Amino acid sequence: MTVIEEVDGIDLDVCNRLGLNVVEPELDLLIAAAERRGSLSYPDHLCLILARENGWVCVTNDKALRNACKSEGIVVSWGLEIMLDLVRTGQLAPKKAREIAEAIHRANPFHVSPEILRRFADRLREISSK
Protein backbone atom coordinates (compact mmCIF):
# COMPACT_ATOMS: atom_id res chain seq x y z
CA MET A 1 0.00 0.00 0.00
CA THR A 2 1.28 3.44 -0.84
CA VAL A 3 0.92 6.38 1.51
CA ILE A 4 -1.49 8.20 -0.80
CA GLU A 5 -3.89 5.25 -0.58
CA GLU A 6 -4.25 5.88 3.15
CA VAL A 7 -5.95 9.23 2.58
CA ASP A 8 -9.63 9.01 1.68
CA GLY A 9 -10.67 11.20 -1.23
CA ILE A 10 -7.13 11.79 -2.50
CA ASP A 11 -5.69 10.42 -5.71
CA LEU A 12 -3.11 11.60 -8.23
CA ASP A 13 -5.59 13.83 -10.05
CA VAL A 14 -6.59 15.59 -6.82
CA CYS A 15 -2.92 16.01 -5.87
CA ASN A 16 -2.16 17.54 -9.26
CA ARG A 17 -5.07 19.99 -8.96
CA LEU A 18 -3.89 21.01 -5.49
CA GLY A 19 -0.29 21.41 -6.58
CA LEU A 20 0.91 18.57 -4.35
CA ASN A 21 3.99 16.70 -5.49
CA VAL A 22 3.65 12.93 -5.18
CA VAL A 23 6.97 11.28 -4.42
CA GLU A 24 7.90 7.93 -5.92
CA PRO A 25 10.52 6.52 -3.54
CA GLU A 26 13.56 4.67 -4.86
CA LEU A 27 13.56 0.89 -4.53
CA ASP A 28 16.13 0.89 -1.72
CA LEU A 29 13.85 3.10 0.40
CA LEU A 30 10.85 0.86 -0.30
CA ILE A 31 12.87 -2.17 0.79
CA ALA A 32 14.07 -0.37 3.92
CA ALA A 33 10.49 0.57 4.79
CA ALA A 34 9.44 -3.08 4.52
CA GLU A 35 11.70 -3.96 7.45
CA ARG A 36 9.60 -4.00 10.61
CA ARG A 37 10.06 -1.08 12.92
CA GLY A 38 8.15 -1.48 16.16
CA SER A 39 4.49 -0.62 15.78
CA LEU A 40 4.88 1.42 12.59
CA SER A 41 2.96 0.30 9.53
CA TYR A 42 4.72 0.06 6.19
CA PRO A 43 3.36 3.47 4.98
CA ASP A 44 4.29 5.11 8.30
CA HIS A 45 7.80 3.67 8.19
CA LEU A 46 8.12 4.89 4.60
CA CYS A 47 7.06 8.40 5.71
CA LEU A 48 9.69 8.35 8.44
CA ILE A 49 12.41 7.26 6.02
CA LEU A 50 11.45 9.86 3.41
CA ALA A 51 11.34 12.64 6.01
CA ARG A 52 14.73 11.59 7.39
CA GLU A 53 16.40 11.18 4.00
CA ASN A 54 15.08 14.48 2.60
CA GLY A 55 15.11 16.67 5.71
CA TRP A 56 11.33 17.06 5.53
CA VAL A 57 8.84 17.77 8.28
CA CYS A 58 6.61 14.78 8.97
CA VAL A 59 2.99 15.89 9.22
CA THR A 60 0.96 13.30 11.08
CA ASN A 61 -1.54 12.79 13.84
CA ASP A 62 -0.27 9.23 14.42
CA LYS A 63 1.38 9.09 17.84
CA ALA A 64 3.62 6.10 17.07
CA LEU A 65 4.94 7.80 13.93
CA ARG A 66 5.43 11.08 15.77
CA ASN A 67 7.41 9.35 18.52
CA ALA A 68 9.55 7.42 16.02
CA CYS A 69 10.29 10.62 14.10
CA LYS A 70 11.17 12.53 17.27
CA SER A 71 13.53 9.74 18.33
CA GLU A 72 15.40 10.24 15.03
CA GLY A 73 15.44 14.03 15.27
CA ILE A 74 12.83 14.51 12.53
CA VAL A 75 10.66 17.59 12.94
CA VAL A 76 6.98 16.69 13.28
CA SER A 77 3.81 18.71 12.96
CA TRP A 78 0.22 17.90 13.82
CA GLY A 79 -2.13 18.01 10.83
CA LEU A 80 -4.09 21.00 12.12
CA GLU A 81 -0.88 22.96 12.79
CA ILE A 82 -0.43 23.45 9.06
CA MET A 83 -3.66 25.43 8.95
CA LEU A 84 -2.46 27.63 11.80
CA ASP A 85 0.68 28.39 9.81
CA LEU A 86 -1.45 29.22 6.77
CA VAL A 87 -3.61 31.59 8.84
CA ARG A 88 -0.49 33.18 10.37
CA THR A 89 0.87 33.94 6.90
CA GLY A 90 -2.46 35.18 5.51
CA GLN A 91 -2.90 32.26 3.14
CA LEU A 92 -6.06 30.97 4.83
CA ALA A 93 -8.89 32.88 6.47
CA PRO A 94 -9.45 31.99 10.13
CA LYS A 95 -13.13 31.27 9.49
CA LYS A 96 -12.27 28.84 6.69
CA ALA A 97 -9.63 27.15 8.87
CA ARG A 98 -12.24 26.64 11.60
CA GLU A 99 -14.73 25.19 9.08
CA ILE A 100 -12.10 22.77 7.77
CA ALA A 101 -11.10 21.69 11.28
CA GLU A 102 -14.75 21.06 12.18
CA ALA A 103 -15.23 19.00 9.01
CA ILE A 104 -12.14 16.95 9.85
CA HIS A 105 -13.51 16.42 13.36
CA ARG A 106 -16.87 15.27 12.01
CA ALA A 107 -15.16 12.84 9.63
CA ASN A 108 -12.76 11.52 12.26
CA PRO A 109 -13.93 12.34 15.80
CA PHE A 110 -11.69 9.67 17.34
CA HIS A 111 -8.44 11.26 16.17
CA VAL A 112 -9.59 14.88 16.18
CA SER A 113 -11.46 14.94 19.46
CA PRO A 114 -13.57 17.80 20.80
CA GLU A 115 -10.61 18.72 23.04
CA ILE A 116 -8.22 18.92 20.07
CA LEU A 117 -10.79 20.99 18.19
CA ARG A 118 -11.16 23.34 21.20
CA ARG A 119 -7.38 23.82 21.48
CA PHE A 120 -7.20 24.50 17.74
CA ALA A 121 -9.95 27.13 18.03
CA ASP A 122 -8.12 28.74 20.99
CA ARG A 123 -4.87 28.96 19.02
CA LEU A 124 -6.76 30.27 16.00
CA ARG A 125 -8.25 33.06 18.16
CA GLU A 126 -4.78 33.92 19.50
CA ILE A 127 -3.39 34.22 15.98
CA SER A 128 -6.37 36.20 14.72
CA SER A 129 -6.16 38.72 17.56
CA LYS A 130 -2.54 39.66 16.76
As a dihedral over the C-alpha atoms of residue 72, residue 89, residue 87, residue 91, rounded to 10 degrees, the angle is: -110
Alpha-carbon distance 63 to 53, whole Å?
A: 21
Could you give the 3-state DSSP secondary structure of residue 21? coil
Q: What is the pLDDT along the chain (130 residues), one digit of tens a residue?
A: 466 777 777 888 888 887 888 888 999 999 999 987 788 999 899 999 999 999 999 998 888 999 999 999 999 998 899 999 999 999 999 999 999 999 989 988 887 889 999 999 999 999 988 7
Could you give the 3-state DSSP secondary structure of residue 8? coil
Contact assessment for residue 23 and residue 50, using Cβ atoms and an 8 Å cutoff: yes
pTM of the predicted protein model? 0.75
Q: Which of 1, 103, 15, 84 is nearest to 47 (CA)?
A: 1
How far does Cα 87 stand from its chain's mean position? 17
